Structure 1
Amino acid sequence: MPKIVDPEARRRAVAQAVLTVVARHGLEHASLRNVAEEAGLAIGSIRHYFADHDELMTFTMRELSRRIGERIRTHAERLLAPDADIDRRAATEELLAEFLPLDDTRREEAVLWITFTAATHTRAELRPHAAEMQQDMHALIVRVLSEAQRMGGLPAGLDADLEAHRLAALLDGLTLQAALLPDRMPPEQQRQVLRRHLDALTSGR
Structure 2
Amino acid sequence: MPKIVDHEQRRDEIVEAYLTVVARDGLPAATSRAIAAELGVGTGALWHYFDGYDAVAAGAYQRITERTNARIAAATAQLSGLDAVYAMLREILPLVKETVDEAYVVVGFWGRLAANDKIAATRADVDEHWHDLLGRHLTEAVRDGRLIPATPIEEVIDVLLSIAVGQQVHAIMGSELAEPDRQMKMIDHCLRPWRG
Q: Cα RMSD over matched residues?
A: 3.0
Change (3 A) 1:53 1:158: same
**Residue of structure 2 in register with 1:150 after alignment:** 143
- Structure 2, unpaired ranges of 5+: none
| 1:105 partnered with 2:98 | yes
Kindly provide the amino acid, as one letter, of the partner of residue 106 in structure 1: T
SS of the residue 2:163 aligns to: helix
The yes-or-no answer on 1:76 pairing with 2:69 is no
Are 1:174 and 2:175 matched, yes or no?
Answer: no
Aligned pair in 2 of structure 1 residues 19, 123: CA closer, same or farther (>3 Å)?
farther
Distance of 1:156 and 1:171 partners within structure 2: 25
1:126-175 superposed Cα distances (whole Å, 9 cap, x missing partner): 32344612222222211221222233322223232222112111222233
CA distance in 2, matches of 1:179, 1:156: 37
Judge which range, 104-113 or 54-63, deviates more. 54-63
Match status 1:126 vs 2:119: yes
State the 1:29 CA deviation: 5.6
Question: TM-score with structure 1 length normalisation?
Answer: 0.76
Q: How far does residue 120 in structure 1 lie from its aligned partner after superposition?
A: 0.8
- Equivalent position SS for 2:128: helix
CA separation in 1, counterparts of 2:150 and 2:177? Answer: 36
Instruction: Quote the residue 2:46 is aligned against.
Output: 46
Runs (5+) with no aligned partner, structure 1: 81-87
Distance 1:50 1:127, change over 3 A: closer
| 1:13 CA drift (Å) | 2.2
What is the correspondence of 1:29-68 to structure 2 with a 5 Å cutoff?
A: 30-31=31-32, 33-43=33-43, 45-50=45-50, 53-68=53-68
Q: In structure 2, how many angstroms separate the alpha carbons of the residues matched to 1:50 and 1:183?
A: 37
For 1:155, what is the secondary structure of its paired residue? coil
State the 1:73 CA deviation.
1.7
Contact 1:22 1:30 (8 Å CA) reproduced: no
In structure 2, what residue type is equivalent to 1:119?
Answer: R
Tell me if the contact between 1:14 and 1:46 (Cα under 8 Å) persists in the aligned partners.
Answer: yes
Output one character per residue of 1:91-120: Cα deviation in whole Å (capped at 9) or x when no partner.
Answer: 431221211111111111112111111211
- Whether 1:115 and 2:115 are equivalent positions in the alignment is no
CA–CA distance in structure 1, aligned partners of residues 178 and 82 of structure 2: 23
Give me the identity figure in percent. 27
Q: What is the number of residues matched between the two proteins?
A: 194
Relative CO higher for 1 or 2, CA cutoff 8 Å, sep ≥ 6? 2
Contact 1:177 1:185 (8 Å CA) reproduced? yes
What is the TM-score when the length of structure 2 is the normalising length? Answer: 0.79
For residue 52 of structure 1, report the CA deviation from its aligned partner: 5.1
